[in-house]
Chain A
């Protein structure tokens, strides 16, 4: 049963890691703007001039 102590410590350390990740994310400003990243990642890659001409409807 003593292994429980080890497991508890490991699980707490992992949980602390996630807490640190959360605090880091907040500090980094990831929660400041919850709209533009959601839109931004849907933009396609750059089109070259020729591709653009053909794809224009």
Chain B
């Protein structure tokens, strides 16, 4: 009576046979990749695309062995794979490769430190080491294929296994032939850079909790077998003929039911007991009452030979409840909803010791240490700049959209990313005591959330328990003077039939399905409680940088003498060489302005990039300078006042400047309008706020969106953001917060619903309740409508359950509830609720266009 689904080790699997048959029919590959042929043909006829990553090779084209590549990195990966006869990688999945364009090589010297190695590995016996890495770039069948063929690339790797759902790789390597550093460097060299961060140092490896599946299995097993052994009862066979059967079946049923109550149903009993001790009735209280009454009465009936008991209903009840629990646990293995700053910070830094650089893990850094921060590296702790010119990108940690220039002697805050040349800094704080990381000491992060069930379920549970107890005792009081036997019978029957199984299933199935639908649209909720919170908020707080403004694609405007087509062409060529985000942004904009796809190539000479200032080059006898105001010639500056922007100088004459504005997200207006209308409908004074870590340069632009100046707060520190949410909550409002960066982490945690808007869900996201893919930002109103609508569906399901309960109760109060009625009524009501929940929530989603 149990269904076994085989998975995992395919050599044991019956599906393996099927796969072999499929392969013989050569269908297998077309299932894997139905579109590879036409797509690659199109790509080859129009423009050459990179053999490795599939991106068009327009800027620089490298031809190697008859294949074209978009960059040196891609070509190198191809070469490695080619040399090792692993080119099947490209046949399995189109565009399998990960572009290495613009990727800076990371130093893995810290992996030579035995202490670090010890923290990272899972197990070592002296010869073999096992290690698990999280590889965010994993995305297709080819990735699995290549990552499991790593042993071909390095003789030291004994075995590698991939978990695609979790994006993890489990490696075993031989310690005498290779080192952890070499393994990581190999992974990075083929584009699969493992995510190693500060969190790995403190992290205790999560132990897979499979107890739930054991419980489900036991309940399912017992349910099926008890039903089978109850069959004579269902058929109404004459008990006087073979009474020995009925007795032995009854005892077997008791044996089967004991693990169901004490093991599978233990969580419900415990939760109910905790609820009673804390003085409130949650939904588990009536469930436990029903379960215990069912069990005790059945045992009594069987032992005293007075009846067959309701053990089939009992096992079925718990089995359905567990299925509901399983359904609502939609987990996104590759997403994490509780990351702190440790997942953002690197694991090690370069400390200067006696004039030499040494890799040291961050937890060993002390104030007074001198650290070298290279290009694209994070500043690990608050420090003073000692040497070099710092150009620091704080956009993720403070919301400032522009790179900040610092001079020696200036103070630098932890979390900023150095975008220029290497700098030397002197630490003044420990990593955990820095300005930013201190935020995690706030009580918002230390307080524990107690309730595991939704408040809606608890409210219903309270109501239910009192009604049931009332009905049960009234029945008891009515029958007791008349007939003691019927009184006990009716009393227990009420408790049994009123057991709110259907009620307990409504939320898991409706909310669970809503989570699934939203997940399909790249809006990932942490759990079912969030669905409920998404309906019950008043004020909405927005972060600016990265949330309502896109990080990429800024709005650019050129002010000055118009540029000719030739000049634009030259500019693009000059900008091409630079990796600076502003150069790339500007280059993309100029290409768009020009509208041509082909560019003449002119010889470029004396190209140089002055870090933190700009680029200079000579092309067609024109000296071109692009960069900050200070980078322009002194005498040409006289004609131009200093403005915020990127200046352009051709032959010692300033031609003008590019004004770069943050671009507001598409359909921001509609989303805000939805929230505004929603706020107007609320009884409380619900408002929309803007909390930005950036300066107020764009306040004029944003004012029409937020209507009042008092609702927009600029230059907010992470702690101020958190405190603002607290003040709102103190006045009784429930707050929805939309943020993205580390500086929003406190506010997101404190708010009633914290939603992170992420451009790439593989990247770091701070702790939150939900993650929204930035591309789906425009859909947010619909998502919230779906969540609110689903609450009405839950109420409708409760109504349905009530109908069943009234029918059942009308039998029960008369003391005429037979086991067969209970056995039919209870599963029927559960199934009705499940079917109703699934169909109605799907219908609602469809109506909303999701």
Contacts and interface: CB of A to CB of B under 8 A. Distances in A.
Contacts of A23: 214, 217
A33 to B, nearest CB: 4
Interface in A2-54: 4-5, 8, 11-12, 15-16, 18-19, 21-23, 25-44, 47-49, 52
A18 B141 CA distance: 32
B456 interface: no
Contacts of A48: 85
B144 A39 contact: yes
Contact of A15 (B9, B22, B224, B245): B224
Contact of B225 (A1, A15, A21, A22): A15
A53 B170 CA distance: 32
A41 B163 contact: no
Pick the most buried of A26, A29, A47, A49: most chain B CB atoms within 10 A of its CB.
Answer: A26
Contacts of A28: 8-9
A51 to B, nearest CB: 10
Interface stretch (B26-34, B605-613, B647-655, B817-825): B26-34
Contact of A8 (B7, B85, B221, B252): B252
A34 B85 contact: no
Interface string B13-33: 101100100110000110110
A42 B19 contact: yes
A46 B218 CA distance: 42
| Chain B CB within 10 A, most for which of A36, A44, A48 | A36
A31 B216 CA distance: 13
Given A15-B224, A52-B88, A37 B214 contact: no
A25 B242 CA distance: 40
B165 interface: yes
Nearest to B242: A1
A21 to B, nearest CB: 6
A34 B217 contact: no
B32 A42 contact: yes
A4 B229 CA distance: 11
Contacts, number: 113
Contacts of B7: 25, 30-31, 33-34, 37
A32 B252 contact: no
A34 B165 contact: yes
Interface string B193-237: 000000000000000101001100110010011001100000000
Interface in B478-522: none
B221 A15 contact: yes
A47 B20 CA distance: 17
Nearest to A49: B85
Contacts of B252: 8, 12
A11 B225 CA distance: 9
B162 interface: yes
B94 to A, nearest CB: 13
A12 B92 CA distance: 46
A52 B87 contact: yes
Contacts of A37: 7-10, 13
B2 A22 contact: yes
Contacts of B242: 1
A33 B23 contact: no
A40 B248 contact: no
Contacts of A21: 4
B369 interface: no
A33 B32 contact: no
Given A4-B245, A31-B8, A39 B141 contact: yes
B305 interface: no
B164 interface: yes
A26 to B, nearest CB: 4
Given A19-B217, A47-B88, A30 B9 contact: yes
B264 to A, nearest CB: 12
Contacts of A30: 6-9
A33 B164 contact: yes
Contacts of B23: 42, 44
A36 B162 contact: yes
Nearest to B256: A12
Given A23-B217, A26-B210, A31-B213, A40 B10 contact: yes
18 contacts: A8-B252, A11-B228, A15-B2, A18-B2, A18-B4, A22-B221, A25-B8, A32-B163, A33-B8, A37-B10, A37-B13, A39-B141, A40-B10, A42-B22, A43-B92, A43-B145, A47-B85, A52-B85
What 5 pairs between A and B have smallest CB-CB spacing?
A30-B8, A36-B164, A33-B163, A19-B221, A41-B10
